[in-house]
Every structure is written in C-alpha cells, then in structure tokens.
C-alpha cells in the first residue's frame, strides 16, 4: 500500500515537473495533485487510489463503445503486428483504411462520396477549411474565403479550429480568431429567445441574423458555415424547432458550403448514426473523430460530398496533387481499431441503445431536477444532456463567474463517484453508448446527492 502511494506520488511529481496540460492552468498545475486514472471497464474508470467512477462523459465525449472492449484491443494488436504503419501519400494505401473509407460512406448521409483521414477533430476541421478554400479557388472565386461559426461553438484547438470556436477564453491570449472567421449567435432558445417568442419565431430570427451577417460581409466573401448538429462543449445546446430548416436555404441562396461538425454527435450519440440524420441535414462536408475509434487510438475523418469532390478533381489540372495530408492519414492501426469499434456499435445495437436509454436518461433528468431551485434548464437529446445552474430560477440569473458553480458541482460529483463535465454555467453528460437504465438510476442518485451538497454550501455562504 505504502509502496503504491510512493509510486503514485512519483508519477504526480514528474507530471507536475514536465507535463504542460491541455486546458489546465499552468500555474495551478505546478501546485496540483494530478489525478491518475489507471483502468476502465464498461462505463466505469478507476483511479490510482482504487476509487471507481461512473464516467458519464465517456472520457471527452468519445468512448462510445465503453472501456475494456477486447475486440478493439485485439484488432489494434493484430494490425500492429502485421503492418504497424504505412503512409497513404502518392496513391499508397492499406486495406483497413481503404475499407474504412468505403464503410463510412455507406453509413453516411447519401450526399457523401469521399473520405480524408486525420488524427483529431481539430485537424479534420482544419482540413475542411482548406478544402473549402481550395474549392472556391478552383471555381474562380478567390475572394470567397470567410467562415461563419456560432458563439460558444467548439471546433478544436488548432489555428483554424480555435478560430471557428466561439470561445473567448481560447482567443485572447493567442491573437485569435484569425481574420476570415466570423461568429453569429448560438441557438439557445431558453437563454436567448425573447419573452413569448416561439421556437419557430426564434429560429426565424436567428436565420435572419445570419442572412444580415452574410449581406453585411458580402455574400461573395462567405465560403462556408460550420455547425455542430447539437452544440456540445457550449453546454449541450440542441437547436430550437425549425432552426436548420431556416438556415440551410439561406446558405444555398448565397452559395455557402455547409460543414456539419459531427465530432461529438456522430456514431450514434443522439440515437441515430449522425446528428445530420436527426435534423434531416445534407451537409457538403462532415467532420468526424471521437466515436470513430471510441478513443482507443486517435483517428478522424472528413467526409466530402460528391458536389465538393467533383471540384477537387477539377482542381488537379490547375494545382497538381492535393497538397495536404498528415503522416498518420489513413493509419492502418487506427483504421483497424475503427472497424472493430464499428463492429461493436453495429453488433451490440449501440445506436438503438442510445435512443432507448437516452430517452430514459432525458426523462429521468427532467423529472428529478427540472423543478430544483438551482436548476434553470435540463436539456439534451439521446445520450447527451446538460443541466444549467442558476442563481435565480424565475429571472434565469446566472451565478457570478467567480462562484464557478459548475466547477464546484463537478468536484462534489467526483466525490460521489460520478464524472460529469462543467461547461460555463452547466454540467454535462455524454456517457458511453452501452449505458443501461440501471446506470441512469445511479447517475440520477449521485447527481442528486451532489446537488444537495452544493445547495447546502451555497445556503451557508449566503447566511
Ligand atoms: C464538436 C467538436 N469538434 C472538434 C473537436 C476537436 O476534437 P479534438 O480534440 O480531437 O481535436 C471537438 C472536441 O471536443 C468537438 O467537440
């Protein structure tokens, strides 16, 4: 036991000394006791002290197949032994990557025709921006370059990904967003609609705001619009009724490509294969990552529609080879992992499970928490949800940012053994798609206990 503690302390010390962590205060980490996760099975992970957690975030929205899937580990091991690496530049290929491209196209909405592989959601979105710019250059519209995204969107951390993300805290210190990137309002009905406005009216207002933005900038300068079907890291924001129906015709009217960022929504999270299926979208480009391999190894894929592909093909005569790609594009081990993961999703009916258990999760979260005085809104769809905390339920007044209320609830939930995610004023859920109704009951029980502890703390602080 003591030996184990010494071992863990040594890991923590070396981590503090040498490891710069993503989305972590550099100064705070230098003083922190990093939590070491050591193993996972099903929907649970265990840390170095032996404490078990129900991971209601599937890591970072990605372990869709759950932890400890032998089939995926075996596929990784067997492909690593056969051919651990070969590139896909200059028409080289490997069987897992070639077959994976074909498999993704057969799963995707009908308009998709080609796949470009990468290693992360961020790089896939950067690839999309480059494809969009290339597309308009080939078509002789070099001034058509601006990308419209939405506030609080998350599209990654690379230069273009972070520029498209509508998160001010990702911009200031890095001189972002780059020019050519514009943000319009996020479609959050509960928070932003006017009193008495219906969802349809609010959607029409957002569409008109988008069109104003396009006209103000000059439609001849706007290349593409990017949107997650349900905003994830923004705090899980499903679109209001009629939103995409109102937006898409405006994009078509002004010859603006539509990129659906399916990095979270794809591979079953909303109870259908794609967020695009749920909302009847036919995007020109789709970004996927996370659930493609359930996070077992990194992989991403851009799905390219026939319409865009035709122009890329035309571009060869003018530009020669498509001069974009990564060492790890079409990585054979990642592709083998993706196949095994898709076999699990299909074989175990995980998309259907996400719909069935997702409906149970949504209903139970609403029943248990919607009336709680600290809860402003319970929202979500399928196996993605969030609970937004408010200081005043009637007026929807948020807590002061200095209270960091969602972060505090997250800490209390960790003590309960439940991993959720603090996002702005909300706490989110995005569990593995293998979740059972019993797991949902446990989530509700632990959340309830954490929320009561938070209530007591806040009441004491006010007294
Ligand atoms: C919608 C969306 N797009 C892109 C990304 C970036 O993915 P990655 O962290 O793999 O670069 C994320 C990550 O959370 C995401 O949620």
Residue ranges covered by each domain of the chain: 35-68+349-462, 71-347
* Tens-digit pLDDT profile for residues 310-352: 999 999 999 999 999 999 999 999 999 999 999 999 999 999 9
423 lines ligand 1 (CB under 6 A): no
Residue 131 contacts residue 312 (beta carbons within 8 Å): yes
Test site for ligand 1: of 259, 260, 263, most ligand atoms within 8 A of the Cβ: 263
Distance 198 CA to ligand 1 centre (A): 31
Say if residues 383 and 361 touch (Cβ distance below 8 Å): yes
Among 262, 289, 301, 328, the mutation site with the greatest number of ligand 1 atoms within 8 A of its Cβ is 289
Helices 70-82 and 332-347, interaxial angle, to 10°?
A: 150
Could you give the 3-state DSSP secondary structure of residue 153? coil
Distance CA 208, CA 193 (A): 14
Give the whole-angstrom CA distance, residue 417 versus residue 436: 17
| Nearest Cα residue to 162 out of 188, 183, 134, 142 | 183
Answer yes or no: is the C-beta of 54 below 6 A from any ligand 1 atom.
no
Query: 121 in ligand 1 pocket by Cβ < 6 Å?
Result: yes
Rounded distance between C-alpha atoms, residue 258 and residue 251, angstroms: 7
The CB of 289 under 6 Å from ligand 1? The reply is yes
Q: What's the confidence (pLDDT) of residue 351?
A: 98
Topology annotation, domain 71-347: 3.40.640
Look at residue 238 and give its three-state secondary structure.
coil
CB of 119 within 6 A of ligand 1: the answer is no
pLDDT of residue 2: 74
CA count, 13 A, side-chain hemisphere, 436: 6
Alpha-carbon gap, residue 54 to 8, rounded angstroms: 22
Q: What is the pLDDT of residue 463?
A: 76
Q: Is 122 in the pocket of ligand 1 (CB under 6 A)?
A: yes
Q: How far is CA 99 from CA 132, 309, 348, in A?
A: 26, 19, 21
Closest Cα to residue 428, out of 151, 62, 43, 57?
57
Q: Which H helix or E strand runs over 286?
A: strand 285-288
CB neighbour list of residue 319: distance below 8 Å, 6 or more residues apart = 134, 137, 138
Q: Identify the three-state secondary structure at position 25.
A: coil
Three-state DSSP at 228 gives: coil
User: Can you say how many angstroms the Cα of residue 368 is from the centroid of all Cα atoms in its chain?
Assistant: 26
Report which secondary-structure segment, H or E, holds 6: helix 2-18
Instruction: Enumerate the β-bridge partners of residue 52.
Output: 46
Among protein residues, the one with the nearest Cα to ligand 1's atom 3 is 155
State how far Cα 219 lies from the chain centre.
Answer: 29
Listed as ranges, residues in the chain with pLDDT below 70 are 1
SS3 255: coil
Separation of CA 74 and ligand 1 centre (Å): 26
* 16, 8 Cβ separation under 8 angstroms: no
Residue with token string 């209390």:
412
Which residue's entry shows tokens 């319409």?
307
374 lines ligand 1 (CB under 6 A): no
**For residue 119, how far is its CA from the centre of ligand 1 (angstroms)?**
11
| Burial call 382-417: b when 16+ CB within 10 Å, e when fewer | bbbbbbbbbbeeeeeebbeeeeebbebbbebbbebe
Residue 4: predicted pLDDT? 81
Note the pTM of the prediction, 2 decimals: 0.97
Give the list of residues 6+ apart from residue 418 with CB closer than 8 angstroms, or none: 53, 54, 56, 442, 443, 446, 447, 450
DSSP strand pairing (300-305 vs 285-288) = antiparallel
How confident is the model over 141-153, as pLDDT tens digits? 999 999 999 999 9
Supply 214's token pair.
């396009």
pLDDT at position 381 is: 98
Provide the phi-psi class of 53: left if phi over 0, else alpha when psi is between -120 and 50, else beta.
Answer: beta
Backbone conformation region of residue 259, classed left if phi is above 0, alpha if psi is from -120 to 50, else beta: beta
| For ligand 1, atom 13: residue with the closest CA | 156
| Domains 35-68+349-462 and 71-347 in one fold | no
Whether 154 lines ligand 1, by a CB cut-off of 6 Å, is: yes
Which CATH code of 3.40.190.10, 3.90.1150.10, 3.90.920.10, 3.40.50.720 fits the domain covering 35-68+349-462?
3.90.1150.10
> In terms of DSSP bridges, do strands 257-261 and 285-288 run parallel, antiparallel, or are they unpaired?
parallel
What is d(CA 146, CA 334) in angstroms, rounded to the nearest whole number? 33
Q: Atom of ligand 1 at shortest distance to CA of 123?
A: 11
pLDDT of residue 1: 67
């Amino acid at each position: 036991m003591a030996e184990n503690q010494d071992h863990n302390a040594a890991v923590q010390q070396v981590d503090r000394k040498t490891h710069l962590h993503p989305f972590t205060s550099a100064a705070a980490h230098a003083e922190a006791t990093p939590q070491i996760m050591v193993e996972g099975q099903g929907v649970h992970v265990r840390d170095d002290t032996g404490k078990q957690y129900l991971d209601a975030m599937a890591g970072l929205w990605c372990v869709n197949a759950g932890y400890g899937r032998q089939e995926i580990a075996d596929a990784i091991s067997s492909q690593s032994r056969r051919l651990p690496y070969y590139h896909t530049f200059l028409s080289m290929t490997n069987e897992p990557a070639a077959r994976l491209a074909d498999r993704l196209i057969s799963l995707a909405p009908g308009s998709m025709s080609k796949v470009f592989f990468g290693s992360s959601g961020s790089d896939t979105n950067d690839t999309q921006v480059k494809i969009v710019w290339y597309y308009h250059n080939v078509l002789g519209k070099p001034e058509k370059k601006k990308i419209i995204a939405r506030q609080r969107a998350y599209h990654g951390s690379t230069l273009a990904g972070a520029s498209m993300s509508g998160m001010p805290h990702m911009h200031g210190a890095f001189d972002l967003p780059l020019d050519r990137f514009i943000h319009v309002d996020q479609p959050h009905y509960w928070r932003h609609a006017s009193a008495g406005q219906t969802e349809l009216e609010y959607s029409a207002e957002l569409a008109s705001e988008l069109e104003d933005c396009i006209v103000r900038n000059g439609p001849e300068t706007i290349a593409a619009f990017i949107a997650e079907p349900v905003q994830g890291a923004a705090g899980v924001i499903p679109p209001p009724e009629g939103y995409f129906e109102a937006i898409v015709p405006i994009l078509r009217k002004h010859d603006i490509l539509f990129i659906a960022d399916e990095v979270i929504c794809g591979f079953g999270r909303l109870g259908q294969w794609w967020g695009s299926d749920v909302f009847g979208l036919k995007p020109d480009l789709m970004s996927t990552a996370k659930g493609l391999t359930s996070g077992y190894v990194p992989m991403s894929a851009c799905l390219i529609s026939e319409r865009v592909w035709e122009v890329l093909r035309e571009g060869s005569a003018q530009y020669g080879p498509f001069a974009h790609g990564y060492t790890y594009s079409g990585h054979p081990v990642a592709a083998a992992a993706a196949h095994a993961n898709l076999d699990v999703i299909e074989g175990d009916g995980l998309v259907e499970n996400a719909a069935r258990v997702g409906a149970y999760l949504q209903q139970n979260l609403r029943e248990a928490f919607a009336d709680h005085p600290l809860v402003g809104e319970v929202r979500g769809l399928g196996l993605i949800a969030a609970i937004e905390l408010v200081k005043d339920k009637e007026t929807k007044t948020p807590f002061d940012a200095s209270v960091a209320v969602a972060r505090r609830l997250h800490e209390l939930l960790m003590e309960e053994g439940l991993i959720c995610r603090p996002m702005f004023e909300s706490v989110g859920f995005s569990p593995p798609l293998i979740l059972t109704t019993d797991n949902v009951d446990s989530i509700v029980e632990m959340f309830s206990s954490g929320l009561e502890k938070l209530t007591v703390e806040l009441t004491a602080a006010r007294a």
